[in-house]
Amino acid sequence: MGTILTGACQSGGQRSAGDENFSYSVEKFADLEILRYRVPGFEQLTLQQKKLVYFLSQAALEGRDIHFDQQGKHNLAIRRTLEAIYRSYAGDTAAADYKNLVVYLKRVWFASGIHHHYAADKFSPEFSPEYFTEVVKSLDPSFLPLQQGQTVDELLSVIVPVMFDPAVDAKRINQADGQDLITTSANNFYGNLTQKEAESFYGNLKKTATSTPISYGLNSRLVKKDGKIVEEVWKVGGLYSEAIEKIVYWLEKAVQVAETEGQQKVIEALVRFYQTGKLEVFDEYSILWVADASQVDFINGFIETYGDPLGFKGTWEAMVNFKNLEATKRTEIISSNAQWFEDNSPVDKRFKKEVVKGVSAKVITAAMLGGDCYPATPIGINLPNANWIRTLHGSKSVTIENITDAYDKAAQGNGFAQEFYRSQNEVELMRDYGFITGNMHTDLHECLGHASGKLMPSVGQGALKADGSAIEEARADLFGLYYIADAKMVELGLLPNDSAYKAEYIKFMTNGLLTQLVRIQPGSSLEEAHMRNRQLIARWTLEKGAPDGVVELRVQDGKTYVAINDYGKLRTLFGRLLAEIQRIRSEGDYAAAKNMVETYGVKVDAGLHNEILARYKTLNIAPYKGFVNPVYEVVADKSGEIADIKVTYSEGYAEQMLRYSKDHSWVNR
């Protein structure tokens, strides 16, 4: 549910890119690499669709400051102070301190604040508070974000400890059991109150809940004022009013060029939500949005709640996109054959659905990223989040193919494949088929895997407790692994030949047994559900196939590789495990789930882990990536009407961030 995060490591082959004049990589700093993505197909949209993309894109940029402010109440003052230095410092810009300050600013831009976008801990500046103070004091104070009556010293006394003292605001979100998760988290979702007070506030509201509950607390900051706990609602006339008014301004323009009446209603409902702040209206909007199948589509609002340790508050995000009609045929073929896949799976008949409906999924092209989707962005999205809406009205599942394509292209030639695949044979398989089989596996996972199978009548959704997500992800992955090798894939025209699938088998097994370990620290075990599921599948098949030598970990020249000796038998093993995992899920066999996850999915071989980390380090690959957006330029005719919209890709990272800070900055702090 929600967003599917991108993996931290890239496993692309080294396919020759056909775009000689387009550079996917923009720049690298700290643990980050900035990439560029293309928007193929934009030129082929109608003028009306281009206008729609353009207006929605502007709306996607106007909320940028909301996101910064949600993540920490000093983020904007810090960003603006750093930007003032970047724009106007007259001192030595070749000094190491200055260069480190620029890296710090680039990290603040990337993370929309002073905490790491993924790990959520505060990054420490590699320059001293004394240096920073001196530089700030050398600037013309009119460039600084001084509040009414505030002096430069007063500004510094607020932001210096927040930037430099490791004890202040150490974590954006703290999830450590036993601590007060509100007072120890630096995010700006709550003011002046404790976890207990926040929980009792929402607990009391929920007591009146119906079968169609609103998403309590999603669009507000919760604060204690004069001893009373109140919500400061994010809406026109409420908190963030100025930014939200700008968003509404562009949405109202978008209404005028909507593709259909249905889509017009979607955008109007969102405008009404921003104007009233009523969560019932947000649900109305979500229901309309799920039903809308226009080519141009968008997300704009307070959506994911991962940023709040209590899971109430929605972080502002935006993404504008349009359907990739060619690639969507692929997911439609899969969905329309859903019953065949269900009937022919190796699962026990009792656990199969008599009538299966594939989840409708589409492949999209991202045209603009904003808020929490920028610059780090998901590769897939499945919304809305409200469970009752998903049950009664369905959900939209999308794969963002121009983003996965950019990851793939940027990874070409980074040495990953040569380092971790055993021989030239594997490297070539990955190069020729890695991208299509990767997308195909994701499609099978999303469209069929999660939608297949059924629970026994007495079994509840939460029967597998904490191991439920790892088992559910394993089920969906195994469904994809089993079927990607089926002759049906070639018959349906989804894969070019009967050996292309091997690329996915090599990638999956290498990732599950070896390379995903680069994402965790030495000494840690696996925590995240997807990582557990991948290792579970890989370790189980390694063990069960050992007597026949199906798969092995082979050491060559002191380096460990995955060798798949019998692809056919590996497929049979995936089928056997799928049958067992489906049984566990259908019967709600918690003991078996726990045993399966703990035996195969959690523990890490320390020696192997160290070896993989050392090999990965030599490749000098940035573990996290993000994107600059393209630039859309309006071409006006003589009368000033929009005659065309042009897309260009030449803007740099700092250039884009500074422009956004100048043109789309609507939160006063």
Q: Give me the residues that bind Zn ion (CB under 5 A), please.
A: 473, 476
Q: Provide, rounded to whole angstroms, the least separation between the CB of residue 2 and Zn ion.
A: 11
Q: Do strands 296-304 and 32-36 pair parallel, antiparallel, or not at all (unpaired)?
A: unpaired
Report DSSP letters for 304-360, one per residue.
Answer: E-TTSTTS-PPEEEEEEEEE-HHHHHHHHHHHHTHHHHHHTSSS-GGGS-SS--PPP
Which residue number, 143 or 306, has a Cβ lying nearer to Zn ion? Answer: 306
Which residue number, 14 or 382, has a Cβ lying nearer to Zn ion? Answer: 382
Q: Provide, rounded to whole angstroms, the least separation between the CB of residue 310 and Zn ion.
A: 24
Q: Provide, rounded to whole angstroms, the least separation between the CB of residue 450 and Zn ion.
A: 6
Which residue number, 377 or 629, has a Cβ lying nearer to Zn ion? Answer: 377
Which residue number, 267 or 476, has a Cβ lying nearer to Zn ion? Answer: 476
**Strand (E) or helix (H) holding 398:** strand 396-400
Which residue number, 584 or 622, has a Cβ lying nearer to Zn ion? Answer: 584
**Strand (E) or helix (H) holding 275:** helix 261-276
Which residue number, 410 or 529, has a Cβ lying nearer to Zn ion? Answer: 529
Which residue number, 45 or 529, has a Cβ lying nearer to Zn ion? Answer: 529
Q: Provide, rounded to whole angstroms, the least separation between the CB of residue 1 and Zn ion.
A: 9
Which residue number, 376 or 476, has a Cβ lying nearer to Zn ion? Answer: 476
Q: Provide, rounded to whole angstroms, the least separation between the CB of residue 530 and Zn ion.
A: 7
What is the distance between the alpha carbons of residues 660 and 318, in angstroms, rounded to a whole number? 15
Nearest to 314 by CA among 251, 360, 383, 363: 383
Nearest to 257 by CA among 231, 296, 215: 296
Tokens found for residue 298: 């968008």
Which residue number, 272 or 530, has a Cβ lying nearer to Zn ion? Answer: 530
Which residue number, 318 or 538, has a Cβ lying nearer to Zn ion? Answer: 538
- Residue 28's DSSP bridge partners are 33
Please tell me the total number of residues recorded for the chain in this structure.
669
**Helices of type H across 64-219:** 64-70, 75-88, 96-111, 129-137, 152-164, 195-206
In this structure, which amino acid lies at residue 28?
K
Q: Provide, rounded to whole angstroms, the least separation between the CB of residue 362 and Zn ion.
A: 17
Q: Provide, rounded to whole angstroms, the least separation between the CB of residue 380 and Zn ion.
A: 9
83 and 658 Cβ atoms separated by less than 8 Å: yes
**Helices of type H across 454-528:** 468-484, 487-491, 502-513
Q: Provide, rounded to whole angstroms, the least separation between the CB of residue 538 and Zn ion.
A: 17
Which residue number, 405 or 472, has a Cβ lying nearer to Zn ion? Answer: 472
Report residue 527: phi and psi, to 5°. -115, -45
Which residue number, 476 or 573, has a Cβ lying nearer to Zn ion? Answer: 476
B/e letters for 261-298, b = 16+ CB within 10 Å, e = fewer, are: eebbbbbbbbbbbbebbebebbbbbbbbbbebebbbbb
Residue 113 φ/ψ region, left for φ over 0, alpha for ψ in the -120 to 50 degree band, beta for the rest:
left
Q: Provide, rounded to whole angstroms, the least separation between the CB of residue 581 and Zn ion.
A: 13
Q: State the sign of the Cα–Cα–Cα–Cα dihedral 493, 498, 504, 507.
A: negative
60 and 320 Cβ atoms separated by less than 8 Å: yes
CB atoms within 10 A of CB 158: 15
Q: Which residue is nearest to Zn ion (CB)?
A: 476
404 and 439 Cβ atoms separated by less than 8 Å: yes
In this structure, which amino acid lies at residue 546?
A
Which residue number, 476 or 622, has a Cβ lying nearer to Zn ion? Answer: 476
Q: Provide, rounded to whole angstroms, the least separation between the CB of residue 446 and Zn ion.
A: 7
CB atoms within 10 A of CB 241: 16
What is the distance between the alpha carbons of residues 558 and 560, in angstroms, rounded to a whole number? 7
Nearest to 123 by CA among 80, 92, 156, 166: 166
Number of Cα atoms under 13 Å in the Cβ half of residue 527:
5
Tokens found for residue 483: 């079927």
Which residue number, 57 or 535, has a Cβ lying nearer to Zn ion? Answer: 535
Tokens found for residue 118: 């993924």
Which residue number, 292 or 443, has a Cβ lying nearer to Zn ion? Answer: 443
What is the distance between the alpha carbons of residues 264 and 56, in angstroms, rounded to a whole number? 13
C-alpha dist (Å) from residue 114 to 108, 120, 309, 598: 5, 9, 18, 36
Helix (H, G, I), strand (E, B) or coil at 643: strand
What is the distance between the alpha carbons of residues 135 and 169, in angstroms, rounded to a whole number? 24
